Amino acid sequence: MPAELRNRQADNWRPLIAIADACRQGDVAREAAIAFASKAWHDDDPGVILLRNIRGLFDGCQVDRLASAAIIEALNGLEDGLWSEWRGTDDDQHPHRLSQGELARLLAAFGIRPRTIWPIPRGLQTKSFKGYYRSQFEAAWKSYCSDGTPSQSSNLRYLHRA
Q: Kindly report the backbone phi and psi dihedral angles of residue 65, in degrees, each rounded to the nearest multiple of 5, phi listed first.
A: -155, 145
For 114-131, what is the mean pLDDT?
79
Predicted local confidence at residue 8, as pLDDT: 66
Predicted local confidence at residue 57, as pLDDT: 93
* Lowest-pLDDT choice from 100-104, 120-124, 130-134: 120-124
**Amino acid at the residue 80:** D
Q: Indicate the SS3 state at residue 86.
A: strand
Predicted local confidence at residue 151, as pLDDT: 40
Distances (CA, A) of 140 to 19, 26, 65, 69, 72: 27, 29, 16, 21, 19
